[in-house]
Amino acid sequence: MNKEAKIYIAGHRGMVGSAIWRILEKEGYTNVIGRTSKELDLRSQVDVNKFFEAEKPDVVIDAAARVGGILANNDFPYQFLMENMQIQNNLIDAALQHGVEKLIFLGSSCIYPKFAPQPLKEDYLLTDSLEPTNEWYAMAKITGVKACQAIRKQFGKDFVSLMPTNLYGTHDNFDLNTSHVLPAMIRKFHEAKQDNHAPVILWGSGTPMREFLFVDDMASSVIFALENILPEHLYNVGTGEDLTIKELAELIQKTVGHQGEIIWDSSKPDGTPRKLMDISKMHELGWKHQVELAEGIQRTYEWFLENEGKYKEVKL
């Protein structure tokens, strides 16, 4: 990849997009561009096409999405379905219409069926029903994957989809109404520690198993896809290792230094029992994660402490 190629990162201020931007600059790419949501409404097909006509990017990295945890997905199903479809469809179609040769579409492991065999292989897509608590977001992402696949098949373009496992890291969302499980736990344990090590109430039974990938590793997989022509349209990205939510809570509790009780509210949903990614395809091509979970949580907590207060600005 030419280091002077114009690379447009959609969602460049989010956790994933900003990590991709940092690693691109570190690797010597000199023509990386982005637009805030105020500067460019990705839900508007007209605005997106005007942007592509004016900027003519060589590469598009779609890290833009409306995201959130179980609560947000459950409370705002229409927005999670429609807005994500609008964003990705406008970007993918504009990239096709304006001659973009490479597009990297980022999705989520929630695209796979709730009770699919473990670990999750790319071939399991659309083989059974989805997890009800996030099916709206999953359906949107599935349409993005299939759109990129269709473009590869019909037009021969290098459009590839990367499906990460659960992501976390610096610049994460710590708003308790919209955040995912790991950053929500960091905030809960931190605030309970400040409150004389008060008990922490966590959702579910603690028995589901989850896999977590540090955001800088996700960014490195995007650079890998950028600098190589991947032979297939869909690739899982993860660590290939998981742990129970209870084990995750205990690890975060230890990192934060909270010494109080953990109470599990089993009246709340657990979600999918297990979501472990089969990452053999990416490993065979030569990519592998570098940051292990304990180190990643420590780095994330340190960033949280440095930026405490800013996360409270997140709104739906």
Do the annotations mark residue 196 as ligand-binding? no
Answer yes or no: is 14 a known binding residue: yes
Tell me how many domains the chain contains: 1
Is there a domain that residue 23 lies in? yes
pLDDT of residue 311: 54
Q: Rounded to whole angstroms, how far apart are CA atoms 250 and 260?
A: 11
Distance between CA 16 and CA 19 in Å, rounded? 5
Per-residue confidence (pLDDT) for residue 310, from 0 to 100: 63
- d(Cα 175, Cα 311) in Å, to the nearest integer? 6
Asked if residue 217 lies in contact with residue 246, where contact means CB atoms within 8 angstroms, the answer is no
DSSP 11: T
Radius of gyration of the chain measured on its C-alpha atoms = 19
pLDDT for 208: 93
118: which DSSP letter?
Answer: S
Other Cβ atoms closer than 10 A to 205: 15
Q: Which residue's structure tokens are 């496992």?
A: 165
282 in Cβ contact with 237 (< 8 Å): yes
Which pLDDT score is estimated for 258?
Answer: 98
Residue 179 assigned ligand-binding role: no
Domain with 287 in it: what CATH number?
3.40.50.720
Residue 141 structure tokens: 């992402």
Of 37, 32, 99, 86, the residue nearest 61 (C-alpha): 32
Does residue 188 have a known ligand-binding role? yes
1 within domain boundaries = no
Instruction: Give residue 246's pLDDT.
Output: 97
Residue 168 near residue 111 (C-beta atoms within 8 A): no
Q: Which residues are catalytic?
A: 137
Question: What is the predicted pLDDT for the residue at 312?
Answer: 52
Mean pLDDT per 10-residue segment, the chain (316 residues) = 96 95 97 96 98 98 85 84 97 98 95 93 96 90 98 98 96 84 95 97 94 98 97 98 97 98 92 89 98 98 87 44
What's the farthest any 2 CA atoms get from each other in the chain? 61
Annotated binding residue 315: no
pLDDT at 202: 96
108 is in an annotated binding site: yes
Closest CA relative to residue 84, chosen from 113, 59, 107: 107
Residue 141 marked ligand-binding:
yes
**Distance from C-alpha of 57 to C-alpha of 154, rounded to nearest angstrom:** 21
Answer yes or no: is 56 within a domain. yes
Strand partners, 274: 209
Residues 75, 196: Cα–Cα separation, whole Å: 32
Domain residue limits at 54: 7-313
pTM equals 0.91
Q: Give the bridge partners for 277, in sequence order.
A: 120
Consult the annotation and say whether 106 binds a ligand.
yes
Q: Is the link from the previous residue into 231 a cis peptide, with omega within 30 of 0?
A: no
Instruction: Yes or no: say if 307 and 222 are a contact pair by the CB < 8 Å rule.
Output: no
User: Of 18, 17, 98, which Cα lies nearest the Cα of 58?
Assistant: 98
Domain annotation covers residue 2: no
What is the H or E stretch that residue 293 is in? Answer: helix 293-306
Binding site annotation covers 15? yes
The conformational region for residue 198 under phi > 0 = left, psi -120 to 50 = alpha, else beta, is beta
| CA end-to-end distance (rounded Å), the chain | 37
3-class DSSP state of 102? strand
